[in-house]
Amino acid sequence: MVTLTILRGLPASGKSTWARTRADEHTVIASADGIRRMLAGGLTDWHTRMGRLDDAERSRMERLAVESAHDIARTALRMGLDVIADMQNMGNRSLEAWRTVARDAGADVRVETMPDLPLDVLLERNRLRGDAMVDEAYLRRAYARTHPDDPASNVDGNLLDGMRANPNVRVRSVKGETDVYACNFTRDAFRNHKWDEYSSKARGLFLDHEGHVVMRGFEKFFNLGENDTVTLDKVLDHDAYPVRVERKENGFLGLIGAAPDGRLRCWSKSGLTDYSPLIERLLHETVADRADDLWRILNDRNVTMAVEVVDMQSDRHIVGYDHSRLFLLHCIRNTETFAIDPDAERLIAESFQFDRPEVLRECHDRDELKKAIESARASEREGVVLYYADGWMVKIKSDHYLRVKSLRPVLKRVLLNGKPVPMDDSERSRLVRTVLERADPDKLTYRRAEFDEPDVDMTYVGTLID
Q: For the chain, give every domain's residue range.
A: 3-113, 119-133+151-216, 232-398, 406-463
Q: Do domains 3-113 and 232-398 have the same CATH topology?
A: no
Rg (CA), the chain: 25
Q: Where does 232-398 sit in CATH, by number?
A: 3.30.470.30
Least confidently predicted of 108-122, 249-263, 271-285: 108-122
Residue 398 CA to residue 374 CA, distance in Å, equals 9
- Tell me the C-alpha distance between 11 and 87, whole Å: 9
| pLDDT digit string, tens, across residues 156-204 | 558 898 888 888 999 999 988 989 999 999 988 888 888 887 888 899 9
- Name the pairing type of β-strands 3-8 and 82-86: parallel
Per-residue pLDDT at 166: 85
Residue-wise pLDDT for 379-406, tens only, equals 999 999 999 988 889 999 999 999 999 9
Amino acid residing at 137: A
- The predicted pLDDT at position 184 comes to 94
* Greater model confidence, 75 or 135: 75
- Of the chain, the end-to-end C-alpha distance in Å amounts to 66
pTM > 0.85: yes or no: no
Percent of the chain with pLDDT over 70: 98
Better-scored residue on pLDDT, 81 or 338: 81
Question: How far, in Å, CA of 281 to CA of 307, rounded?
Answer: 13
pLDDT at 154 over 60: no
Fold of the domain spanning 3-113: Rossmann fold (3.40.50)
The 10s digit of each residue's pLDDT in 3-34 is 999 999 999 999 999 999 999 999 999 999 89
Least confident segment among 59-68, 145-154, 315-324, 415-424:
145-154
Q: What is the pLDDT of residue 434?
A: 95
